[in-house]
């Protein structure tokens, strides 16, 4: 800018400023007044009134610091509109450390798995192993099976790809190098109802955490979709793992500089021969620098899916077999050649409660039904066994609770915090299964669904519990050791949560750390936790909150 132009600019600014001063004088001389708009007054919004503080009750002799900490915890804003049931009891003498709403019936979400696990240990015992039988139906000579390979399932919920790879290898070593017929799959140990009560209201029924419950299953009746970016403008690599002809993939995922996300939907479809298959449809895009990832979806026709996956691993081992799958009972005269067994029930329950696996829970319910009342195993018979255990062994009053599925998915169960603590106390005294029961629970700060919670607090490694998460529902029940080493059984159940569950997790953490420190610990401000277990799309009928996609098949609230 030249000196002359700078001077002109300065003059213009001065003139403009002068106009703002002259204008009122012009009005005084009779010029038409400009319309004056009064400034808006700022109206301060009063915060909504806080609800009446909850009153904590406890036994005499409880430390004042602990009572103050628990009172502060149960009155956190995250619980303002929620219904709360809380009870903490020192196990050795029944001292009530704190309670509020302990007799309210509340949706326990996945805390229902505490009942399922306890019933399984009482009925099947910690050493129980689920079995899967393999038969040859025909003549096996010189490496060729002139006939069919037959598989019968007995409700093993732990079979994954690695197990089937080992089975394929064992069959090959046994001498099955070629099969002229096909694979017969027998799921008759369970009835044909493959969705637990309450699953019908799931808004995204293709999610892996709501897969079918069958006597013969692989990978929790889910399939894995692996996505790997390539270069911008080119399709990403999308693979089904393990690959099998029972799953058909359609659509494409593009690689872009910045991806917009991937959508995967699984649904029922029919193959060319009219048999039901699983159709996976993918769309969307991934970023070129994004790490490869997996997502999971349920499969349809799960018995045929098991057979198809087995054929893939047999072929990988070198066994010559066509993709021919039939459903039906083990034929008369078939010869048993291999029995594949699950890990002991104690290990199965550790997976159940550490990772909140819905498929394991509901499979165990049916397996218990078959064990006690005979095949086929049904949800109703399994639940009948569980209710009998609660009432005849633990001491629940008939009609005082609702237990209508073993996983806690959605809105069909109701328990009180007092009932949960009573069950926890009973299992702690059970010399046959109590140790395994406690070991099955997630560990604060280190393992399972609370592995990221309560780190660097007195509760880390000293609190074991089962989580429960649905939309508008959050629960945490388990054991914690106080500073003297005495065990405390506690239960925090809440529903009608308005603003998502993360704030309630902070309350639960506060309670857990307070019990572990006898009230000496206080939370740091603005602590935020972003991980956790699966939140169902349907959840409780009560409220809405953000949902999350499952991290692994079967995992759930």
In the chain, where are the structural domains located?
1-30, 64-127+344-517, 130-342
Beta strands in 25-94 (DSSP E): 83-90
Instruction: Answer for the pair 458, 476: CB distance below 8 angstroms, yes or no.
Output: no
Instruction: Answer for the pair 544, 498: CB distance below 8 angstroms, yes or no.
Output: no
How do the pLDDT tens digits run along the chain, 557 residues long? 444 444 334 433 333 333 333 333 333 333 344 444 455 555 566 666 777 999 999 999 999 999 999 999 999 999 999 999 999 999 999 999 999 999 999 999 999 999 999 999 999 999 999 999 999 999 999 999 999 999 999 999 999 999 999 999 999 999 999 999 999 999 999 999 999 999 998 888 899 999 999 999 999 999 999 999 999 999 999 999 999 999 999 999 999 999 999 999 999 998 888 899 999 999 999 999 999 999 999 999 999 999 999 999 999 999 999 999 999 999 999 999 999 999 999 999 999 999 999 999 999 999 999 999 999 999 999 999 999 999 999 999 999 999 999 999 999 999 999 999 999 999 999 999 999 999 999 999 999 999 999 999 999 999 999 999 999 999 999 999 999 999 999 999 999 999 889 999 999 999 999 999 999 998 877 544 444 555 554 443 332 222 333 345 776 54
Whether omega before 242 lies within 30 degrees of 0, making that bond cis, reads yes
Beta-carbon contacts of residue 336 (< 8 Å; ≥ 6 apart): 133, 134, 135
CA 297 – CA 265 distance, rounded (Å): 7
Q: Report the candidate in 513, 417, 375, 365 with the shortest Cα–Cα distance to residue 65.
A: 513
Q: Spelled out in words, what is the top-level CATH class assigned to the domain 64-127+344-517?
A: alpha beta
For residue 81, count CB atoms less than 10 angstroms from its CB and return exposed for 0-12, middle for 13-18, buried for 19 or more. Answer: middle
For residue 334, count CB atoms less than 10 angstroms from its CB and return exposed for 0-12, middle for 13-18, buried for 19 or more. Answer: buried
Q: Report the candidate in 390, 446, 434 with the shortest Cα–Cα distance to residue 416.
A: 390
Instruction: Answer for the pair 65, 518: CB distance below 8 angstroms, yes or no.
Output: yes
**Strand partners of residue 148:** 137
3-state helix, strand, coil in the chain (%, to 5): 30, 25, 45
Torsion sign, CA atoms 481, 484, 489, 492 = negative
3-state secondary structure of 312: helix
Residue 526 has a pLDDT of: 56
φ/ψ of 87, rounded to 5, equals -155, 135
Torsion sign, CA atoms 391, 393, 396, 402 = negative
The residue count for the chain = 557
Instruction: Answer for the pair 214, 303: CB distance below 8 angstroms, yes or no.
Output: yes
CA 315 – CA 178 distance, rounded (Å): 10
- pTM of the complete model: 0.87
């Amino acid at each position: 800018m030249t000196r002359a132009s700078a001077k002109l600019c300065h003059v213009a600014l001065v003139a403009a400023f002068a106009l703002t001063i002259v204008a009122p004088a012009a009005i005084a001389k009779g010029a038409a007044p400009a319309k004056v708009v009064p400034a808006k007054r700022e109206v301060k919004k009063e915060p909504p009134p806080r609800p009446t503080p909850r009153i904590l009750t406890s036994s005499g002799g409880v430390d004042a610091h602990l009572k103050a900490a628990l009172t502060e915890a149960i009155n956190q804003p995250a619980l303002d509109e929620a219904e709360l049931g809380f009870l903490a009891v020192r196990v050795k003498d029944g001292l009530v450390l704190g309670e509020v709403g302990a007799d309210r019936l509340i949706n326990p979400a996945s805390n229902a798995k505490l009942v399922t696990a306890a019933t399984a240990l009482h009925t099947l015992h910690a050493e129980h192993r689920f079995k899967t039988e393999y038969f040859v139906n025909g003549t096996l000579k010189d490496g060729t099976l002139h006939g069919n390979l037959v598989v019968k399932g007995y409700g093993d919920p732990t079979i994954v790809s690695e197990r089937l790879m080992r089975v394929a290898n064992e069959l090959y070593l046994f001498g099955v190098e070629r099969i002229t017929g096909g694979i017969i799959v027998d799921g008759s140990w369970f009835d044909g109802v493959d969705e637990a009560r309450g699953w019908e209201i799931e808004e995204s029924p293709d999610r892996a955490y709501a897969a079918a419950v069958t006597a013969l299953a692989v990978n929790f009746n889910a399939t894995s979709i692996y996505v790997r970016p390539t270069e911008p403008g080119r399709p990403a690599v999308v693979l089904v793992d393990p690959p099998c002809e029972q799953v058909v993939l359609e659509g494409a995922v593009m690689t872009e500089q910045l991806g917009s996300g991937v959508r995967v939907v699984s649904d029922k479809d029919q193959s060319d021969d009219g048999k039901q298959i699983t159709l996976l449809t993918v769309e969307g895009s991934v970023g070129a620098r994004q790490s490869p990832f997996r997502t999971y979806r349920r499969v349809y026709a799960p018995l045929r899916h098991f057979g198809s996956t087995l054929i893939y691993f047999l072929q990988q081992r070198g066994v010559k077999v066509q993709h021919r799958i039939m459903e039906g009972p083990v034929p008369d005269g078939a010869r048993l050649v291999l029995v594949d067994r699950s890990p002991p029930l104690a290990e199965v329950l550790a997976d159940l409660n550490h990772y909140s696996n819905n498929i394991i829970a509901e499979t165990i319910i049916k397996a218990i039904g078959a064990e006690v009342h005979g095949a086929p195993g049904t949800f109703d018979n399994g639940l009948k066994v569980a209710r009998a255990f609660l009432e005849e062994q633990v001491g629940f009053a008939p009609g005082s609770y609702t237990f209508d599925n073993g996983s806690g998915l959605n809105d069909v169960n109701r328990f009180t915090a007092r009932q949960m603590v009573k069950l926890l106390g009973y299992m702690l005294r059970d010399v046959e299964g109590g140790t395994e029961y406690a070991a099955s629970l997630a560990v604060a700060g280190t393992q399972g669904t609370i592995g990221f919670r309560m780190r660097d607090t007195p509760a880390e490694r000293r609190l074991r519990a089962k989580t429960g998460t649905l939309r508008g529902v959050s629960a945490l029940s388990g054991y914690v050791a106080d500073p003297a080493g005495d065990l405390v059984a506690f239960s925090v159940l809440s529903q009608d949560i308005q603003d998502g569950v993360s704030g309630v997790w902070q309350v639960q953490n506060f309670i857990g750390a307070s019990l572990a420190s006898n009230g000496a610990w206080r939370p740091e401000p603005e602590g935020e936790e972003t991980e956790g277990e699966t939140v169902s799309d349907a959840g409780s009928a009560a409220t809405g909150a953000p949902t999350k996609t499952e991290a692994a098949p079967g995992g759930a609230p």
